[in-house]
C-alpha cells in the first residue's frame, strides 16, 4: 500500500481522509513527520493555498505530499466566504463564529444555494497535479446536527434532507467534496502504477 503525507495538522481532516482511503493508501499527517507548525495560507485561491502547503513539505522534509484547501461558496454572497472560509469571522475565530456570521449575512435571503469545493495539490516525483471535488447544496437557516466539523451543521447537500453534521461519517465520506477530490487523487496514483 502506498504511503503519502497529507499536509495538515487538522485531526478532523486527517481522520476523514484516512477513512476515505482506508485499504488503498496509508496517510500520515504533518505531526507524523515531525512538522508541528501551521503552514501559512497566503494564496488568493484554493489552488494556491493547497500548493503552498504541499510544496512546503516537499521542500523542507523531502516527502511526496498532497494538501487540500476547501471553500464554502455561497451564491448570494458572490462566492464568499470561499478561500477565507476558515477565517470568515476574522482571525482567531472558530467554526461557530463563522456559521453565525454566515447565517446573519443570509438572513432574509431566499437564495440559499451553496457549494463546497475542495482542491487537492499533489507534489510527486518533481511534478505538480491538481484534483477538485464539488458538492452542491444549500445553507439552512439554523444549525442542525453534532457530527462533522466546520460549516457541516448548516450545509444540506442536494438530494438529502439532513445536513452534513446529521448524515454521519459514512454517508458524508461517500459524497463529500473532499471524498470526490480524493477519489480523483487515488485513481491518478493507481493509473500511474505508483502503488
Task: Report the catalytic residues.
Answer: 69
Residues in Cβ contact with 164 at an 8 Å cutoff, skipping those fewer than 6 apart: 145, 147, 148, 151, 152, 153, 155, 156, 157, 172, 176
**Following DSSP, what letter does each residue of 28-44 receive, concatenated?**
E-TGGGT--SPPP---S
Amino acid at each position: 500500500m502506498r504511503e503519502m503525507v497529507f499536509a495538515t495538522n487538522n485531526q478532523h481532516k486527517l481522520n476523514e481522509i484516512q477513512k476515505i482511503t482506508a485499504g488503498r493508501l496509508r496517510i500520515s499527517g504533518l505531526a507524523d513527520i515531525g512538522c508541528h507548525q501551521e503552514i501559512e495560507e497566503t494564496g488568493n485561491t484554493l489552488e494556491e493555498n493547497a500548493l503552498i502547503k504541499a510544496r512546503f513539505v516537499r521542500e523542507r522534509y523531502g516527502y511526496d505530499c498532497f494538501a487540500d484547501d476547501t471553500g464554502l461558496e455561497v451564491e448570494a454572497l458572490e462566492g464568499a466566504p470561499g478561500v477565507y472560509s476558515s477565517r470568515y469571522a476574522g482571525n482567531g475565530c472558530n467554526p461557530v463564529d463563522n456559521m453565525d456570521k454566515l447565517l446573519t449575512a443570509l438572513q432574509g435571503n431566499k437564495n440559499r444555494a451553496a457549494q463546497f469545493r475542495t482542491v487537492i495539490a499533489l507534489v510527486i516525483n518533481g511534478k505538480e497535479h491538481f484534483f477538485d471535488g464539488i458538492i452542491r447544496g444549500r445553507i439552512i437557516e439554523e444549525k442542525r446536527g453534532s457530527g462533522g466539523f466546520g460549516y457541516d451543521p448548516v450545509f444540506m447537500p442536494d438530494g438529502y434532507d439532513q445536513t452534513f453534521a446529521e448524515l454521519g461519517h459514512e454517508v458524508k465520506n461517500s459524497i463529500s467534496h473532499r471524498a470526490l477530490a480524493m477519489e480523483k487523487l487515488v485513481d491518478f496514483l493507481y493509473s500511474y502504477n505508483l502503488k
